Amino acid sequence: MEIQAVKGTKDILPNEINIWRAIETEAKKICANFAYQEIRTPLLEEERLFSRSIGESSDIVRKEMYTFLDRKERRLCLRPEGTASVVRAYLEHGLDKDASIAKFFYFGPMFRAERPQAGRLRQFHHLGVEAIGADSPYLDIEVISLAVTIIEKIGLKGYALQINSIGCPEDRQRYKLVLENLLKPKLKFLCPDCHSRYKINLLRIFDCKNLECKKIVEQLPHIIDSLCEGCLQHFKCVQDGLKNLDIKYEISPYLVRGLDYYTRTCFEIISPHLGAQNALGAGGRYDNLVSDLGGPSRPAIGFALGIERLITALSAEKEKINVCFAEEPLQLFICTLGEKAKQAVFPLVYSLRKAGISCEINYQDKSLKGQMRLADKLGAVSAAILGEDELRKGVIIVRDMRTKEQKEVPLINLNMLMTELKK
């Protein structure tokens, strides 16, 4: 066909949907256990929500937003992430007036006009979590342990948690001055991208993949060494808490994250199965975002897992991933023989479906053998045969697709048929 899916977007076909549903179901259960509530925000937002929160100089805002003018010349965009939207909704609906902490989770598509490559899409999905209203390091421990629990419960084994602290804005300012002074004499050895990073977003220098730049960057001091006493204590408490929960982590001294709103704790969960784009998910504190967007002071922390990357990593560890995450099979396929049976089967199927039995029938011109083959292909637990003989006798033949045992069941008694199917 001439028209195809937009580059960097993906259809999720029925044969892949089980794993998506399994992840969502498991994650919802775990989030509820951690006392988080679901929130759904629009895919469309005002562009300035993200330029103000993620930052004008971030890669996302500079290069990756799907921004457009609508018919009334308003600058809108497809959301590139969920944190800013959740904070907007939190403020817009006065949820900040409640003294308690607000804890949200969300699923949904995000949009970034990045160069598509393995693990990097233009429409991808986040499972995100935001806890707003406390600066306690214990909340950091809860949020990180929630991310790890989701990953473990969906059955992923190979992953590593990396943490760091990027301190408060004052710490970062101090650190940037140190970096600027150290890098100035080495600028001529840096790649053109790092030149512009030096000018507009210095900390992004740590993301450069260029080997020459890496060599220079790896000589630079760590941000932890620029932290004030309060931020240092906070980070220590987070680490003690993770140890207490037996959650393994590594300190990644150059992990600084690419979104401007972060403060203090930041973390990434990486997988060995993902190649260059190895982050399964990431997050951190954003203590000033609520006030930067016009609200009161409400420190917060959250994370987002990339669902496509979770599935890629799971697929690398598990064979036949869709079988691993298979949902309930089709309970009954009813084969019909002759026009009268075709007519008579409808009230029966309708009643069974309403009573909670999943069933399917044949709509094509197929022989009994062909219908049985279809029942098999659909994975039906039982098949039933309804022909004119059965109609006359007021019965239906029910066949167990595994044992091939057959039984006549009176049609008049739906309960008997249902009991037969539930055996």
Which residues are at the interface with ligand HAM (CB under 6 A)?
A: 81-83, 112, 114, 120-121, 124, 126, 128, 130, 279-284, 286, 302-304, 306, 308-309
Residue whose Cβ sits closest to ligand HAM: 306
Minimum Å gap between C-beta 270 and ligand HAM is 9
Minimum Å gap between C-beta 283 and ligand HAM is 4
Minimum Å gap between C-beta 262 and ligand HAM is 7
Considering the complex, state which of residue 161 and residue 304 has its C-beta at the smaller distance from ligand HAM.
Answer: 304
Cα dihedral angle (357, 358, 359, 363), rounded to 10 degrees? 140
Minimum Å gap between C-beta 302 and ligand HAM is 3
Minimum Å gap between C-beta 57 and ligand HAM is 15
Other beta carbons within 10 Å of 380 = 22
Considering the complex, state which of residue 105 and residue 198 has its C-beta at the smaller distance from ligand HAM.
Answer: 105
Tokens of 142: 């809860």
Considering the complex, state which of residue 264 and residue 309 has its C-beta at the smaller distance from ligand HAM.
Answer: 309
Considering the complex, state which of residue 300 and residue 398 has its C-beta at the smaller distance from ligand HAM.
Answer: 300
Considering the complex, state which of residue 12 and residue 378 has its C-beta at the smaller distance from ligand HAM.
Answer: 12
Minimum Å gap between C-beta 411 and ligand HAM is 52
Considering the complex, state which of residue 39 and residue 417 has its C-beta at the smaller distance from ligand HAM.
Answer: 39
Report d(CA 342, CA 363) in Å as an integer. 9
Minimum Å gap between C-beta 304 and ligand HAM is 4
Considering the complex, state which of residue 284 and residue 299 has its C-beta at the smaller distance from ligand HAM.
Answer: 284
Minimum Å gap between C-beta 6 and ligand HAM is 14
Per-residue three-class SS string for the chain: CCCCCCCCCCCCCHHHHHHHHHHHHHHHHHHHHCCCEECCCCCEEEHHHHHHHCCCCCHHHHHHCEEEECCCCCEEEECCCCHHHHHHHHHHCCHHHCCCCEEEEEEEEEECCCCCECCECCEEEEEEEEEECCCCHHHHHHHHHHHHHHHHHCCCCCCEEEEEECCCHHHHHHHHHHHHHHHHHHHHHCCHHHHHHHHHCHHHHHHCCCHHHHHHHCCCCCHHHHCCHHHHHHHHHHHHHHHHCCCCCEECCCCCCCCCCCEEEEEEEECCCCCCCCEEEEEEECCCHHHHCCCCCCCEEEEEEEHHHHHHHHHHHCCCHHHHCCCCCCCEEEEECCHHHHHHHHHHHHHHHHCCCCEEECCCCCCHHHHHHHHHHCCCCEEEEECHHHHHHCEEEEEECCCCCEEEEECCCHHHHHHHHHC
Considering the complex, state which of residue 130 and residue 207 has its C-beta at the smaller distance from ligand HAM.
Answer: 130
Considering the complex, state which of residue 122 and residue 197 has its C-beta at the smaller distance from ligand HAM.
Answer: 122
Strand pairing class (160-165; 263-270): antiparallel
Minimum Å gap between C-beta 308 and ligand HAM is 5
Minimum Å gap between C-beta 115 and ligand HAM is 9
Considering the complex, state which of residue 110 and residue 202 has its C-beta at the smaller distance from ligand HAM.
Answer: 110
Considering the complex, state which of residue 121 and residue 256 has its C-beta at the smaller distance from ligand HAM.
Answer: 121
Report d(CA 411, CA 228) in Å as an integer. 78
CA 294 distance to own-chain centroid: 28
Minimum Å gap between C-beta 87 and ligand HAM is 10
